[in-house]
Structure 1
Amino acid sequence: MANLLFDDFQNRTKEQWKQQAIKDLKGKSFDDTLLWNVDENITVEPYYTSEDNLEISIKAIQQAQAQRVSSHWQYREKVRFTSEKETNELIIRLLKSGTDSFQIDLGKELLSEIEFKKLLNNIKLSDTAFFFKVENQALALVNALQNIAPYLWKGGIINDAFGRWMQTGEWDNNYWKSTASLLGKVQSHPQFKVLVINSHHFHNAGANVSQELAYTLATAIETIDKLSQEGVAIEQILAKIEFSISVGTNYFVEIAKLRALKLLWAKLVSEGYGLDISVANSTSIHCQTSVYYDAAITPHTNMLRATTEAMAAIIGGCDAISINAFDESFSTPDDFSRRIARNVSIILKEESYLDKVIDPSAGSYFIENLTHQIAENTLKILEEVENKGGISEAFTQGFIQKSINAEREKQITQLQNNQNIMVGVNKFRFDEKPFSKPASTTTLTSETIFALLPNLRLSEIFEA
């Protein structure tokens, strides 16, 4: 019966479908109306057929994505350290409210003056993953934890030397030697990551998805190479890496971006370092909703952006997620805005059941094709960076800053011309109260010979 039904339909070529679409458009341009340009090198067509014969390695993509063996993700709450007692009480409350992982920002606090026994009172690092954000005090932190927690730890240390250098011009000349010593101290803690490779400084300066991935992977390559020169084995380095990636509002693109990262990382580990692809499986991916796409005008729309960003991160295969409060990028979030952010993750798990399927986007030719295009474009940019001597040399020469700035200028032009829409910013705007422009975060001063990467928001040009 089914065969008889399909026998009534004649085969049509892709060109015939295109001509029908052009006819239905009644004079509108096919390319301008139906082709989706993610950037100048990535174009998504409205439909694909077997005639396309796209050179896409679906097997390679699925093999890389298969490293995710669980559909569970952790919600990693960001907590700013204030005092031992106050921070400890906040952590305890959050554990009862759906948080199952933490990022404790210790800022510029002297770790020798922090009483970690009080900070972690009634908390066990073997039960809950804690990531401690520090500035050049990673060894001191490990020494402090060893004194109060003589067992296996979960979590890690965030000491983003590259991000700090690119945003402030400051570099710790002892970084590689101290990090090599750090790796020696934490090898007995298999679930404790101390090499967190961030994409946030690229993303928040305006990088497109391929730039963000390429520069992040270039950072990982230089990290591996420098630590290898310090005598650390490749396997020991790889076991301690976590990627922390910003996720923007372009839903399908961000899903594909994370899948492309997994594909390229597996390719780098297996082909670049000659290790089994399973070694790449130990690398976790943490995602953070975008600050760059937050808006200070009609700010409640940020809740909607954060929701789609979180969905993209989860479907893309993140292992942990942090969701920014809707007002976090331009004011101090209160308990309400933090609770709403946390509840986004809880609802996606408890009511949307996104934790019930390991890879919900698998088999979508649209997503697989987009993944492939992003990966191919990323490789081209990565090759450019490596040809310039690596991430540090490319940044010192200004290559990265110029490339990102050019991309941001395109984004601004598209927004001003309504080619792209930010709800509540350049369209459907409604100011709930008289708008007060927040203090600018874009002014940077440094004595370096190269430009620095600023923390920006795309909507700033409309906030006047």
Structure 2
Amino acid sequence: MTSADQLRLASEFDTATKDRWRAMVDKVLRRSGVDVDSHDGAVEDLLASPTYDGFAIQPLYTADDTAPDAGFPGLPPFTRGSSPVGPVRGAVAIGWDVRQRHAHPDVDTTRRAVLADLENGVASLWLVVGEAGLPVDALPDVLADVYVDLAPVTLDAGADFVAAADALLAVHGDKTTEKGVRPGEVLGNLGADPIGHRARTGTPADLDAAAALATRVAERYVNLRSVVVDALPYHEAGSSDGQELGYALATAVAYLRALTDAGLPVDRAVRQLEFRFAATADQFGTIAKLRAARRMWARVAEVCGAPQAAVPIHAVTSSTMMTRRDPWNNMLRTTLACFAAGVGGADAVTVQPFDAAIGLPDAFARRIARNTQSILLEESRAAGVIDPAGGSWYVERHTDELAHAGWSVFQEVEKAGGIAAALDSGLVEERIAAVRAARTARLDAGDEAITGVTVFPNKDEKPLLREPEPAVPSGGLPRVRYAEPFEAALEAKP
């Protein structure tokens, strides 16, 4: 007998078929007391999970669940990633950009926190300035000891984006510190996002100022971006993944129109943009969302005649999933979200500290946040494979379904006159409110759970205390945490 005859392995088993799987599922359901006979559809429909975008997640995916060819990494439509070699260079997994957010209004506190981050694995900074964070004129002091050519800065300045941009550019060009950076070597993003500010606060969007800034930047700083297409206001109001994609795409198109109307050629206008999406503990949903985002933008770029290149994606762990009660569970949520963002091809990832829902994070929480990324990159080697989800029937189908859902939302917004008009008319809030109500109903019914709050709450828990964040201007879309009403109910009990 040859070794080949001895190693027959799977050939000794009966061929697996979908009909055999259905028969086994039928048997298990009946034993569990499920009334299978009253259901008219296929047995797997009983196990399907509905999404807030109108399609269902099936319990089983096979080669019959077709999706468009995702192509190759680094090539249009960039579903499989923006680079042909992913995060790998030679035998080294470089990984995504570890970007941490700082919003503490005290200059000395933020300066120390920034240096601690950069000394311990963080690669770039996301600074909140203006009403919700640092004073604009504090940027030189905060960045006094930072080599900004090695640690790029992304700004989040709300309505003060022009003044903040000028302050940051002055830091880069300050020859008195012997750290002056050549214009062509300045990286990062100046963070102009008047539409996102409109969505958060209700303040009219000043697209002309953003376009003027982008035009000025493109002339001199060829590798610096000036505009952020921030989808977080929609996610934080309770949107579905498809809505988040659609509203982000509509925002990007609005910026592209404004920049080209201001005189920028389309190829240079595209280079001014960066997307920002939420990453949640729904691992496969996050992976599919980021893949769908690149595919959708590739279609817009193709129609506009822009160069076929992916726009960078910055993924931020979701605020809506964070809890004040039993906040240690947030470490698990953000780890899942960070992993999904990396696998989904995010170019930069921000992990929110586990105490972010309580107030301004302390040093321990910031350390856990950055170490979450360090462990995934350096120990788990999560960036060591190019598009690890590629070829999965489930992920490819989910990516396709999300892309279509997001495209439908985008089309609805365009028919309404664009994202600014859709915000002004209340269309965006109306659509998001329906999803928010549906999710809340599922939480109320126990169909979805929040560990530590709706299930397994610790009634004797001693709450963590943190300094409150600066007040954020309101007037636009609401900001929700789905745990908040349930936390309030727990705290109200004697």
TM-score by length of 2: 0.83
2:254 to 173, 197, 222: 222
SS of corresponding position for 2:461: coil
Instruction: Report the alpha carbon displacement of residue 371 of structure 1 after superposing the two structures with TM.
Output: 0.6
Deviations 1:244-277 (A, max 9, x none): 111122111111111111111112111x212342
Does residue 480 of structure 2 align to residue 456 of structure 1? yes
* Distance in 1 separating the partners of 2:106 and 2:474: 30
Aligned pairs for 1:8-27 (under 5 A) are: 14-26=18-30, 27=33
Which amino acid letter does the alignment assign opposite residue 70 of structure 2?
A: I
- What is the Cα-based RMSD across aligned positions, in Å? 3.0
Deviations 1:360-406 (A, max 9, x none): 21221211111111111111121111111111122222111111111
Does residue 69 of structure 2 align to residue 57 of structure 1? yes
Q: CA, structure 1 residues 436+110, in 2 after alignment: closer, same or farther (shift >3 Å)?
A: closer
Q: What is the aligned partner in structure 2 of residue 373 from structure 1?
A: 401
Q: Is the 8 A contact 1:111 1:137 kept in 2?
A: no
SS of corresponding position for 1:58: coil
* Distance in 1 separating the partners of 2:442 and 2:134: 46
Question: Identity percentage over the alignment?
Answer: 27
* Distance in 1 separating the partners of 2:418 and 2:270: 19
Q: Is the 8 A contact 2:103 2:133 kept in 1?
A: no
Q: What is the aligned partner in structure 1 of residue 288 from structure 2?
A: 256
SS of corresponding position for 1:102: strand
Q: Is the 8 A contact 1:57 1:372 kept in 2?
A: no
Does residue 166 of structure 2 align to residue 162 of structure 1? no
Q: Is the 8 A contact 2:352 2:369 kept in 1?
A: yes
Q: What is the aligned partner in structure 2 of residue 449 from structure 1?
A: none
Does residue 158 of structure 2 align to residue 135 of structure 1? yes
Q: Is the 8 A contact 1:101 1:128 kept in 2?
A: yes
* Distance in 1 separating the partners of 2:120 and 2:474: 41
Which amino acid letter does the alignment assign opposite residue 49 of structure 2?
A: W
Q: CA, structure 1 residues 126+117, in 2 after alignment: closer, same or farther (shift >3 Å)?
A: same
Q: Is the 8 A contact 1:442 1:455 kept in 2?
A: no
Q: CA, structure 1 residues 454+444, in 2 after alignment: closer, same or farther (shift >3 Å)?
A: farther
Q: What is the aligned partner in structure 1 of residue 82 from structure 2?
A: 67
Aligned pairs for 1:379-398 (under 5 A) are: 379-398=407-426
2:56 to 43, 47, 50: 43
Q: CA, structure 1 residues 339+435, in 2 after alignment: closer, same or farther (shift >3 Å)?
A: closer
Q: What is the aligned partner in structure 2 of residue 292 from structure 1?
A: 320
2:113 to 77, 82, 90: 90
* Distance in 1 separating the partners of 2:201 and 2:139: 29
Aligned length: 452
Question: Which one is further off, 402-411 or 326-335?
Answer: 326-335
> Structure 2: where are the runs of 5+ without partners?
37-42, 88-94, 175-179, 489-494
Aligned pairs for 1:40-439 (under 5 A) are: 41-50=54-63, 52=64, 54-59=66-71, 63=76, 64=78, 65-68=80-83, 69-71=85-87, 72-80=95-103, 82=105, 86-108=109-131, 114=137, 116-144=139-167, 145-146=169-170, 147-148=173-174, 149-151=180-182, 152-171=185-204, 175-187=206-218, 188-270=220-302, 272-277=303-308, 279=309, 281=310, 283-431=311-459, 433-434=461-462
Q: CA, structure 1 residues 110+320, in 2 after alignment: closer, same or farther (shift >3 Å)?
A: closer
Instruction: Report the alpha carbon displacement of residue 127 of structure 1 after superposing the two structures with TM.
Output: 1.4
Instruction: Report the alpha carbon displacement of residue 241 of structure 1 after superposing the two structures with TM.
Output: 0.7
Which amino acid letter does the alignment assign opposite residue 186 of structure 1?
A: V
* Distance in 2 separating the partners of 1:373 and 1:112: 43
> Structure 1: where are the runs of 5+ without partners?
447-451
SS of corresponding position for 1:372: helix
* Distance in 2 separating the partners of 1:40 and 1:115: 43
Instruction: Report the alpha carbon displacement of residue 4 of structure 1 after superposing the two structures with TM.
Output: 6.4
Question: Which one is further off, 231-240 or 188-197?
Answer: 188-197
